[in-house]
Structure 1
Amino acid sequence: MNKILSLFLMATMALLVGCSDNNDPKEGVQYETLANNLATYRLPPVTEVFSLNCGHCRTMEEVIPQLESLTNQSIGKVHVTFNESATVAAMIYYTAEMQVGGKPDRDMVNELFAALQMGNGATMADKQRAIESVFHSRDLVSPYELDKAQQAQMLGAIKIAEEITEKGQFKGVPTFVVNGKYVVLTSGHQNAEGIADTINYLINLK
């Protein structure tokens, strides 16, 4: 009888331990700690790392308003420069950013995504005209018309983006950097709510 009671107590304790497990995001599954702290770059608490050439980033753009609502954060942006095409796209993005005084609005970002991700039948000239149209429709100077001072300003932004890309060791996008210390593993989530839960957890993680 004592043996039966002992087994029952052990089983009950096992169940209690199982019930006490929390659902906090797990490092290596939902997020990672960056090897190099990016806090010195004064990024917003939540910053999307992205590329205008990236189809998944274009899809994520539609989710950003929901994430901002669920996290109560205005999500910043950093454009990666981990290859030549990403660097060229970054030049286009930072040409916009420097003229509007910060993150371009969603309409402009979506139009830039569309211009850079035109179908296979589009020529470089087609893409250039589309990019110029995005800027000219807002009375902005296009990346193809920058004067020397504007070029220097844009290249300064590119240099910072290169440093962030290198120190962050970003190999794929989109992702989110939280408090300059953590990177969200979007592949470890099923939906926007899950990503938001991880972001909220990391914001409060010491």
Structure 2
Amino acid sequence: MTINFPKFSLIALLTPLFILAGCSEEPTTPSAGKEYQQLAEPLSNLAPVTEVFSLTCGHCRSIEAFIPELEQATNQEIGKVHVTFNESAQIAAMIYYTAVMQSDTPISHSTMDELFAAVQMMGQVTQEEQKAAIESVFESNSWASPYQIDDQQQSEMLALFQEADDISIKGRINSVPTFIINGQYQVNVSAHEDIQSIANTINYLLNKE
């Protein structure tokens, strides 16, 4: 299976929202099949708002910069699940969950950006240079790198990886970035013009019966 990156406007994502809420039009009600879809099977043990992403995805890296804005607009701390739907995503997921299992708090946005940058070096630098970049991110956080973890740490990482794999399969997730709301709905990010419209859909789904 290949990664289908949604073709939404990066300009819209990278441009601040200049129109004040009080001067803008009322948001339209999101439509099933357009702005969101209901999952064929509900997912459990997820945060009310969960971002599904891959460190290999350029659009996911763009969205990461706006996660604090989305958290403020939705009044939710956004959880994360790394997809595992192809070999490159699986390798990246192992890198991500090696970090997660060593962190007592959610990984900071600055560290996430460093992980995105290191993983997305593939094809631009040698394997040794990429490995050094990944190790540098882990060393700066006083974590063992994916190349250094012991057997117990590897078991912990693989348990997190398996949970993510189960979610990817059960949720039939085949494109990223996306958001899962209340374990029941998937936001179609590509159908939105900007971050505020994504937040509007998330808020609608959070309150949907």
TM-score (norm: length of structure 2)? 0.85
CA contact (8 A) 1:49 1:177 kept: yes
- The structure in which a higher percent of residues are helix is 1
Aligned partner of residue 132 in structure 1, secondary structure: helix
Aligned counterparts of 1:92 and 1:103: Cα–Cα separation in 2? 15
CA contact (8 A) 1:77 1:103 kept: no
* Unaligned residue ranges in structure 1 (runs of 5+): 1-21
Q: Does 1:27 align with 2:32?
A: yes
* 1:1-206 correspondence runs (5 A): 23-39=28-44, 42-118=45-121, 120-206=123-209
1:101 Cα deviation from its structure 2 partner = 2.7
Aligned counterparts of 1:76 and 1:127: Cα–Cα separation in 2? 27
Aligned counterparts of 1:87 and 1:55: Cα–Cα separation in 2? 16
- The count of residues paired between Structure 1 and Structure 2 equals 183
CA contact (8 A) 1:48 1:174 kept: yes
1:36 Cα deviation from its structure 2 partner = 1.0
What whole-Å deviation, never above 9, does each CA across 1:43-85 have from its counterpart, x for those lacking one? 1110000000000100111111111111111111000000010
Task: Give the greater-gyration-radius structure (CA).
Answer: 1
Structure 1 consecutive aligned stretches of length 4 or more whose deviation exceeds 3 Å:
none
Identical pairs, percent: 52
Aligned counterparts of 1:49 and 1:30: Cα–Cα separation in 2? 16
Aligned counterparts of 1:101 and 1:185: Cα–Cα separation in 2? 31
* Unaligned residue ranges in structure 2 (runs of 5+): 1-26
Aligned counterparts of 2:46 and 2:105: Cα–Cα separation in 1? 12
Aligned counterparts of 2:50 and 2:124: Cα–Cα separation in 1? 33
CA RMSD in angstroms, aligned pairs only: 1.2
